[in-house]
Amino acid sequence: MTVLSKKPLDVFKYTYATCLLIFSVVIVMALVFTRQTSLSQDSHPAVAFIVCWITLLWLGMIEGGQCSLVGLPPVNPDLYKESHPLTHKICIWGHKGDNLDRYLMGRQFLVVLVVFLINLSCAPLGGATVFGFPDVVITIFLNTGIAMILFTTQIGQLAAQCNASHMMLDYINNYFMLFTMYVCMAIEFSGLLHASYLVQLAVAKLAGKPIVSNEPPRTGLQSLFFWTRCLVSLAILSYAFAITLTALFQGKTTVWNGVPPGVAVVVFFILMSLIGLLEGMQIAFFAVTKMTKDQQGDSKCAKMTCEVLFRDGGRNLPGFMIGRQICVVSSMFFVARVCTLNVEVGTGENVLGVSDGFQNFLNTGLMAALITTIAASVVWQLVASAFPIAFLSNPFVYFMLRFCLALEATGICSGAWVLGWLTEKAFGWQTDEVYIGTPEERAEKEKQDKDENYNVGAGHPRIPVQKAGSEEYDLDNVES
């Protein structure tokens, strides 16, 4: 259950953050209806409006669905078969064999793609202005992307995580989540992301840890299908890099006016590294929560990071997760701005001489989303899951931890908790214990939870969330 604090400082954060959120929504919608975004300018404001809200709500289902699917494996599904039939159907399939890993792989790409679509439909064009606001307001909320970041982070991510971390059963008991599950599994099955498995195998070998599967060994035909998809995925990823870098060097992307091509390339790799660092940090942080101080190594940076992370009974960990979410979304919007292709079809300026039809496809930003998913997310997560202490020994990790904590302390995203509370009341969601009891009550009914290892090592960078009925601190919701 989402509980809003009554402390004066917290109430102040809720109030000003909610006002900022409302202001950001108004500004973003004004941009859409005045044709000052890419999609509204190229099609119609109504199209951009619909795409914006569908993708935003879909992002919320993706984020909340992850919390539920990763948090429910220990719970006996018979306990909620009658009360939550769709949740039962989703979990029976999603927790079968290695399907959870497949879902998480497909989900990673879907998140990036959805963020890119939100950017396409809502991000302001150069020189955009609304309501005659002074330049300082335009600079703060539009040019820096603050309005888009607050809008997307709170409505599409944090509020969903806030609810789903405690109300897993209710959150995914709908056909929208079932559809999302199908899409994620289809993305993984397509082989588009199979280059990630090559990295998975390499990291596991370097770590000296075998990749444990819940399924029997592949047959010869299955192995051929798997390796074929790996090679095709690697070829597509290489081509995506070639297309994107060529466009950057030729100045054919939506990067800010006046940015030299060479600088744009450097910014591209810096942003990709920043996203990767933040993605890897959450995996490494969760890994060290299960380690003793002796196991945390002798690295000065790693020790300093762990000391800050677990200060005050571990409260800094959920604080980091909130600040990190803001940074990741910000970086993804900037990456989308830097590397999404912007070529007017029919002018003969197509990148690498591709056809007009294919250039239209490239202009959607799909290639950039693929690069971001594999090179800036999955690869870093795999490395961090295999070598958490080495990862924490990087001084940039300590700096980013401090920065994320400072960002969270401002309360700029506290409106998400208000939105989460309102959503909970509107849909009548209840905590999982209402339906299935606490772990102790389930054990008394001989339906005790099965031990589930969330930090399963190289190749399985799962993000743990609070188990249903657990009294451990919530990793996604600092106010719950």
Query: In the predicted model, what is the mean pLDDT of residues 186-196?
Result: 94
Provide, rounded to the nearest whole percent, the portion of the chain with pLDDT above 70.
90
| pLDDT above 50 (res 476) | no
- In the chain, the amino acid numbered 363 is N
Looking at every residue in the chain, the average pLDDT score rounds to 87
Question: 37 Cβ partners below 8 Å, 6+ apart?
Answer: 31, 48, 120, 121, 122, 123, 124, 125, 128
Question: 255 Cβ partners below 8 Å, 6+ apart?
Answer: 248, 264, 267, 337, 338, 339
Give the residue, 298 or 341, on which the prediction is more confident: 341
Tally of CB atoms within 10 A around 443? 12
Alpha-carbon distances of 415 from 12, 137, 152, 162, 459, rounded to whole Å: 11, 20, 12, 11, 35
Question: 122 Cβ partners below 8 Å, 6+ apart?
Answer: 28, 31, 32, 37, 48, 52, 148, 151
pLDDT grade for 303, boundaries at 50, 70 and 90: confident
Contact between 167 and 430 under an 8 Å Cβ cutoff? The reply is: yes
Spell out the domain ranges in the chain. 8-444
Query: In the predicted model, what is the mean pLDDT of residues 203-222?
Result: 84
Contact between 283 and 384 under an 8 Å Cβ cutoff? The reply is: yes
Report angle CA 182, 98, 177 to the nearest 5 degrees.
25
How many Å apart are CA 106 and CA 155, to the nearest integer? 22
Which residues are bridge partners to 124 per DSSP? 37
Question: 69 Cβ partners below 8 Å, 6+ apart?
Answer: 90, 91, 94, 95, 100, 103, 172
Please write the tens of the pLDDT for every residue from 214-240: 888 899 999 999 999 999 999 999 999
Which residues are bridge partners to 341 per DSSP? 253
Please write the tens of the pLDDT for every residue from 96-141: 988 988 998 999 999 999 999 999 899 898 888 999 999 999 989 9
Alpha-carbon distances of 378 from 66, 159, 201, 303, rounded to whole Å: 15, 24, 13, 25
Per-residue confidence (pLDDT) for residue 458, from 0 to 100: 46
Mean pLDDT comparison of 218-227, 254-263, 448-457, highest-scoring range: 218-227
Tally of CB atoms within 10 A around 14? 20
As a whole number of angstroms, the longest Cα–Cα distance in the chain is 72
Which residues are bridge partners to 37 per DSSP? 124
Token pair listed for 14: 């809720």
Per-residue confidence (pLDDT) for residue 2, from 0 to 100: 65
Provide, rounded to the nearest whole percent, the portion of the chain with pLDDT above 90.
52
How many Å apart are CA 92 and CA 170, to the nearest integer? 16
Please write the tens of the pLDDT for every residue from 343-359: 888 888 899 989 999 99
Please name the residue that has the structure tokens 């954060």: 13
Q: Count Cβ atoms within 10 A of the Cβ of residue 176 and give its class: 0-12 exposed, 13-18 middle, 19 or more buried.
A: middle
Contact between 143 and 126 under an 8 Å Cβ cutoff? The reply is: no
Please write the tens of the pLDDT for every residue from 131-188: 999 999 998 999 888 999 999 999 999 999 889 988 999 999 999 999 999 999 999 9
Per-residue confidence (pLDDT) for residue 160, from 0 to 100: 92
